[in-house]
Chain A
Amino acid sequence: MLSKSQARLFFIGGTIFFSTIFILLTVDTVANIDPRQHTENLTKSVIHGKQIWEAENCMGCHTILGEGAYYAPELTKVVDRRGKEWISVFLRDPEAMFPGQRRMVKYDFSDQDIEDVIAFLAWIGEIDTNGFPPEPDLMPATTITSVAATSASEPPAYFNNVCVACHAFQGNGGNVGPALDSVGQRYTRNELDLWLADPPSVKPGTAMPNLNLSDATRTELVEWLLTLK
């Protein structure tokens, strides 16, 4: 059996040995990190985005790279998932996008701040994370069979970026609002135009937010919605 001094030697020797290896691996990690994290894309905007991320303690609700809190969605791939446009609309008024849901803080961000936070999130999304977050590998419990509505033309980009978060179209999208597959049957051009311009003024208390659409986008959306019969 070991004596006490041998046991001490084991402790001291082991500690020195493994600390040395750890420091060598750290040197190697730091030296080889550039291609994995695309250091060349670490712009001023990204760095400012990180500062906002820390100043507001977004990690106190969200995880990023799997680290943080488990109260709000994991954000490593959020730019892939939602797109920049959606996020910038969302950050202006988070509750409007998820009415009646778990609440995020509403921040007074400037346009520049929002752009920088998104730049930061986009930079995070490009990191080589060894495959995290993983693709779901079990079949969804219910496979959504898309409605045969081949006659409809491709939706405008804004619809795919923002509206789908709440509305389903051909079986894909959110369920905060109703599916829009046959909305053209129910409303006239005028009604749709008024609705998109400012939903709460048409129907006070509605969960659909005023998205401050530009005239061009609104017209494009209305024309497309009218084709959905």
Chain B
Amino acid sequence: MKFRSQRVAYLFFATSLALFVLQIIFGFIMGFAHMGYDVLHEIIPFNAARTSHINLLVLWLLSGFMGAAYYIVPEEADRKLYSEKLAVLQWAALVIVGVIALIGFQFGWWEGRKFLEIPRPLDYLVVIDVLLFIFNIGMTALRSERFTTTGSVLLLGLTAAALLYLPGMITFESQVIDSYFRWWVVHLWVEGVWELIMGGIMAYLLIKLTGIDREVIEKWLYIIVGFTFLSGILGTGHHYYYIGAPEYWLIVGGVFSALEPLAFLGMALYAVTMARRGGMRHPNRIALFWTVGCGVMSFVGAGFLGFAHTLPQVNLWTHGTLITAMHGHMAFWGAYVMLVLGMISYAMPQMTGRKLFDGWVPEWAFWTSNVGMIGMTGAFAVAGIAQVYMERKIGMDFLAVQEAIEVHFAGLILAACLLTLGVLMFVWNFIQYGVPSDEAIRDS
């Protein structure tokens, strides 16, 4: 760690991991409900569990991105953070909004629009909070002599993500238009601007961990994020096939979303090539594992499994089934969860000065959680394919089909236990690192 003020990142990382564990608990509630054990129905009905599960996911990933930015931007700008106090304030506000939202969900205070369930009054607080954040890192960048490409791409991604939150806050009377603009947030986030954030953080980690020349890494960064937008913007059309939007979206969405995996393939090749070229010289091998793993698994989850149901001929049958859940889990895991965990793995030894990356705990955390997630994806896939055939192709009754596929949710839960074990090991490692210390500044 170069500047003392980078240590605020710790608060965000700790928050991320705490919310991640909570997210998983809600996941189990839903897994059991699907298996026929909806025992918490009276207290936490399925819709409350689901809303909590996916909003916690988004919230903790955003918290992780913010922590990453507070850590990376000062270093890329080569000056201390504009205001550490403001960052702490912004963190506290984020936590308060998050906690209120989570409690509100349990009492039915929500908007009922998937992924955008945070009620309107809290939306305004989120916007203010994000503006504070952007202001803080923006000023850090502006006050510096030079600001790198990596830093700029990260900052651009974060700013664009904040702007794209706004279309989700407009009220529409028509469900069709409502849904149309809901995707401006959801799709243009995960398949657009969040990929800039991903590209930025990954470039930073690769520069630090492989020692390869910045110019080379940053050139490829531009090419990859160029591909992201080339395909991902019009690729939004893959959500417009069957919601009442005009027919031309079948072609536009089909062609451009079919190109989206190229950006993820680029990301995977880029991570693997840089890691091999740079050799595994950096002592923090586990951070490199997560970084390269992020490139590879995002290609599997987003690129490959996304492609599997993105063509309109296929999507007609799989739209809104467990196939979507299969893809959603692996894509979020590969692209964003592994990214944030990679950043945490890299930053913790730097911030605390303790080098706890060598033992078996972090390594097993990596493998166990990944094997668990692959198993979960497999369980969702089998359940999803069975559902599509029985319900959509043959026309069996919904509930009869769900009963027939209950057994795959037992598989899901088993795999989820592995994943959880891995995540808990990661958290344990995080706790062992302790809090940032001033000695760490001298160290590096």
Contacts and interface: CB of A to CB of B under 8 A. Distances in A.
Given A4-B222, A58-B112, A67-B114, A74 B245 contact: no
Contacts of B236: 22
B176 A132 contact: no
B230 A138 contact: no
A29 B225 CA distance: 27
B51 A2 contact: no
B231 to A, nearest CB: 8
Contact of B393 (A28, A59, A60, A138): A138
Interface string A88-115: 0000000000100111010000000000
Contact of B226 (A7, A54, A73): A7
A136 B395 contact: yes
B50 A60 contact: yes
A187 interface: no
Given A130-B241, A132-B316, A124 B175 contact: yes
A88 to B, nearest CB: 20
Contacts of B225: 11
A103 B41 contact: yes
Most buried by A among B112, B230, B402: B112
B307 interface: no
A55 interface: yes
Interface residues of B, number: 71
Interface in B130-149: 149
B363 to A, nearest CB: 35
A65 B179 contact: yes
A161 interface: no
Most buried by B among A30, A102, A128: A102
Interface of B is mostly: helix
A42 B316 CA distance: 26
Contact of A71 (B46, B114, B149, B317): B46
Given A55-B112, A65-B242, A129-B244, A11 B222 contact: yes
A155 interface: no
B110 interface: yes
Contacts of B117: 57, 60
Contacts of A30: 177, 180
B425 to A, nearest CB: 30
B210 interface: no
A52 to B, nearest CB: 9
Nearest to A55: B112
A73 B244 contact: no
A105 to B, nearest CB: 5
A216 interface: no
A29 B222 contact: no
B316 to A, nearest CB: 5
Contact of B174 (A14, A33, A141): A33
Given A22-B233, A57-B47, A71-B34, A66 B320 contact: yes
Interface string B140-182: 0000000001000000000000000000000001111111100
Interface stretch (B286-294, B321-329, B428-436): B321-329
Contacts of A26: 180
B4 interface: no
Interface residues of A, number: 69
Interface in B288-327: 316-317, 319-322, 324-325
A130 B174 contact: no
A131 interface: yes
A136 B394 contact: yes
Contact of B222 (A10, A67, A69): A10
A19 to B, nearest CB: 6
A102 B399 contact: yes
A105 B175 contact: no
Given A21-B234, A57-B51, A15 B229 contact: yes
16 contacts: A2-B219, A7-B220, A11-B223, A18-B229, A26-B180, A37-B244, A42-B173, A57-B47, A57-B110, A60-B46, A63-B320, A70-B320, A71-B46, A124-B175, A132-B241, A140-B395
Interface of A: 2-4, 7-8, 10-11, 14-15, 18-19, 21-22, 25-26, 28-30, 32-33, 36-37, 39, 42, 47, 50, 53-61, 63-74, 98, 101-103, 105, 120, 124, 127-141
Given A127-B244, A132-B241, 16 more contacts: A2-B219, A15-B226, A18-B229, A19-B229, A19-B233, A21-B233, A29-B246, A32-B246, A33-B244, A42-B173, A61-B50, A66-B320, A71-B50, A98-B399, A130-B241, A138-B393
Interface of B: 30, 33-34, 36, 38, 41, 45-48, 50-51, 108, 110-114, 117, 149, 173-180, 215, 218-220, 222-223, 225-226, 229-230, 233-234, 236, 240-250, 252, 316-317, 319-322, 324-325, 387, 389, 392-396, 398-399, 402
